[in-house]
Structures are given as C-alpha cells and as structure tokens.
Amino acid sequence: MKKIVAYIKDAYNELVHKVSWPSAKELTGSTIIVMIASIIIALVVFGMDSAFEWIVKFLYGIL
C-alpha cells in the first residue's frame, strides 16, 4: 500500500511542479491548427474517394 501512495504522491508532484502546461493562447493556437489540418485531410480523403468512385463507375460502365 505504501508503494501505491508513494506513486500517487510522485505523480502529483511531477504534474504540479515539473510539467510545463501551455498557456491559453498557445492552446487556442494549437487547437486551431489541428482543426484546420483535420478539415484539409478530410477534404483530401473525400476527393480521393470521389475520384475512385468515378473511376470504378467508369470501368464498370465499359465492361
């Protein structure tokens, strides 16, 4: 039981004193970048899916 309590105390100490937490401005900037990147990736995947759908329909139309 002592090891568990020591672990929890060490984890708390590390989170409070050693971890550098981002400021609200840094967090907002990172969030916006992630959202924009997610939208771009979604649009690329949608474009690829649409292109492959068109190609498959074209090939089945010929056969």
CB neighbour class for 32 (10 Å; exposed up to 12, middle 13-18, buried from 19): exposed
21, 29 Cβ separation under 8 angstroms: no
* 58 vs 49: CA distance, rounded Å: 14
**Tens digit of pLDDT for each residue in 18-60?**
999 999 999 999 999 999 999 999 999 999 999 999 999 999 9
Rounded to two decimals, what is the model's pTM?
Answer: 0.66
* 45 vs 51: CA distance, rounded Å: 10
User: 56 is written with which tokens?
Assistant: 């498959």
- φ, ψ of residue 30 to 5 degrees: the values are -65, -40
